[in-house]
Amino acid sequence: MESSQNFIHEYIKNLADTLHSQAKRAAQMDHPKMKGDSREESLKQFFREFLPQNTGITTGKAIDCSGKVSQEIDLIIYDKTFPVFRIENLAYVPVDGVIAAIEVKSELNSNTLEDSLRKSMSFSALEQRKIFLENLGGVNICDVKRTNSLTVRDMLGPGFYIYALSGYKSSSSFAETLLKKIKELKPVRLSYPRVIVTPTILSIRVNEYLPPYDNKSDPKLKGALGTYCTDNGTCMFVSDLLHKIYQRLTTLNSQFQVSSASHYFDALAYFCDVINAPTGEKPYMISFDSSEPSWFDNQS
């Protein structure tokens, strides 16, 4: 009998391969504007094939209850129970209804990386309201102060992703560029994308299932971001995205039983595949824990 783990792994790999081939085919158009539009429409169609029926996908901006608006984002996956405001063919999605935001680039370089990071920061600057039930029938079920936890906010909030069809070939050159942009833009941890991926590079930051990276040269400093040279990064991206989507769509029935499909998509398993795969190039970590961000090789 085929194991469920092998089936899910094969499913994720097929999705990752299809995603890359469809996006690459759409990007072969000559005109830059048509190339971008075709790429976004192709990816929307790709995601619609497996997104749950109560989710939608659009190009547009996120907006919070105070009226603050993010920069325009290529793909926004949202909960359809929230309204979408459309003005002159541009969608405005309430940030509390956003599940994930994806910026798509034909090539990841210094300029497109900065543009995407600025969009991620504008998105994370929006106010998100998460209300916990403090008690139910006199039984304390949650401490509302947990909303101050970065881990809880990361788990409950939408994820931001950068997906590029080409780009850096070396984790060291990417880490060097990334560190320069972080020093210039000064993003906080949750304003940095969960995953940045090209066919050859993966960057993933600390999140609810991935603890800080150890800095062997200075144990007091913990890495918040890891960069890797790998061809398995798209599987990691797809798995983390599906985990985020189904985590958001967790249901609670009248018997207070929680149902979720998020555990079917164990992004940590793909992350282990990435770090254990022999690439010939060491991964690099970036620490936010000091006044001056730094990067280090945690294998030294």
Query: How many domains is the chain built from?
Result: 1
pLDDT at 98: 96
- Please give the C-alpha separations between residue 267 and each of 49, 126, 176, 195, 199, in angstroms, as whole numbers: 20, 26, 26, 11, 17
Q: What is the mean pLDDT of residues 270-292?
A: 72
Q: For the whole model, what pTM was predicted?
A: 0.87
Q: For the chain, give the mean pLDDT.
A: 81
* Higher local confidence (pLDDT), 147 or 68: 68
Query: 25-30, long-range: CB within 8 Å, 24+ apart, which pairs?
Result: 27/106, 27/165
Q: What is the rounded average pLDDT of the residues 106-118? A: 95
pLDDT value of residue 145: 41
**pLDDT range class, residue 144, cuts 50, 70, 90:** very low
Res 59: pLDDT: 95
Q: Is 225 helix (H, G, I), strand (E, B) or coil?
A: strand
**According to the model, what pLDDT value does residue 119 have?**
97
CA distances to 45, 88, 102, 285 from 91, rounded to whole Å, are 17, 8, 15, 36
Q: Which domain holds residue 134?
A: 4-296
For residue 277, what pLDDT is reported? 64
Residue 162's pLDDT is 97
Q: Assess contact for 47 and 102: CB atoms under 8 A.
A: no
> Each residue of 59-91: pLDDT tens digit?
999 999 999 999 999 999 999 999 999 998 899
Q: Which pLDDT does position 107 carry in this prediction?
A: 92
Per-residue pLDDT reduced to its tens digit, 170-227:
888 999 999 999 989 988 888 899 999 999 999 998 887 777 777 776 766 677 888 8
* Span 33-55, average pLDDT: 80
Say whether pLDDT at 141 is over 50: no
